[in-house]
Chains A and B, each alone.
Chain A
Amino acid sequence: MHLEYFQMIDTISTINRETGKIDAIANVPDKSTIFEGHFPTHPLLPGVLLIETMAQASGYLLLDRLEFELMPFLVAVSEAKLRTFVEPGTVLNIEAEIIHDGSGFAVSKAEVTSAGKRICNARLTFRIMPFPKDELRQEMLKRYKEIYPSGDQS
């Protein structure tokens, strides 16, 4: 995780296009300026960043499915539960699944665990839209290739 750059996913382990599922890993850093404020003397990963982590895993799954032709933008978070505090240095496993492929939108179900313990889960809705600029598409593709070197998007 590079929290200050909003890069939440470190590695995509697998993407299964048939089942519409992704497994990814995020390593919470030991140090970050974010922990200086959240909270002073008691560092915890903010819950909103856990939501963002689930959204990014779902987002990469959708980008892969859409072959980087369209961009998913998070528009709704439903049934979110933040179950356990996350401290610096924690390794997070993220699973996300597309539960609905609508017209111009998609819905995913995502969950984060650590050492088998449930950390959080949510249902996320994305609008599927054209990339506002090709440079963004290129940047997303570049990051995808960095974290998923075995992926086959060209």
Chain B
Amino acid sequence: MSSTFEALAEIISETSDIPMGDITPEKNAFTDLGIDSLDFLDIAFAVDKHFGIKIPIETWTEEMNDGNASVDDYFLLSRLSERIDELVAVKNS
């Protein structure tokens, strides 16, 4: 597992009180782990702070609402981890 995923899993575990063992890359934050949109704000806050990025929640939500992306595209934890890496890469470029 990548260090990004490990950091993400720790954040999810701490903010949402979910055992680390339950947080695996193939899980969807919302549909598998039961995180709701309010819980996700805490996660986004912690992720933004940890990685020095700004998760574009509004853009992602708009894309999902418009049918241009699925929940898995952004919130499957392996994909979320990849998105975070992309945002970090953009920040560092």
For window 54-84 of B, CB contacts with A under 8 Å fall at 54-59, 61
A75-B38, A76-B38 known; A102+B59 contact, CB < 8 A:
no
Which 4 residue pairs across A and B have the least CB separation, nearest first?
Answer: A104-B58, A103-B57, A103-B58, A103-B56
B contacts, CB < 8 Å to A: 38, 41-42, 44-45, 48-49, 54-59, 61
A43 and B6 CA atoms in complex are apart in Å by 50
Q: Does A125 contact B (CB under 8 A)?
A: yes
Inside 8 A of A75's CB, which chain B residues have their CB? 38, 41
For window 114-134 of A, CB contacts with B under 8 Å fall at 125, 127
A103-B56, A105-B57 known; A127+B48 contact, CB < 8 A:
no
Task: Flag if B57 contacts A100 (CB, 8 Å).
Answer: no
For window 86-107 of A, CB contacts with B under 8 Å fall at 100-105, 107
Chain A contact residues: helix, strand, loop or mixed = strand
Provide a sorted-by-A list of 8 A–B residue pairs whose CB atoms are within 8 angstroms: A76-B41, A78-B42, A102-B44, A102-B54, A103-B54, A103-B56, A105-B41, A125-B41
Total contacting residues, chain A, CB less than 8 A: 12
Query: Nearest CB to that of B56 among chain A residues?
Result: A103
Output the least CB separation between A33 and chain B (Å).
33
A100 and B59 CA atoms in complex are apart in Å by 18
Inside 8 A of A125's CB, which chain B residues have their CB? 41-42, 45
Query: Nearest CB to that of B54 among chain A residues?
Result: A103
Inside 8 A of B55's CB, which chain A residues have their CB? 102-103
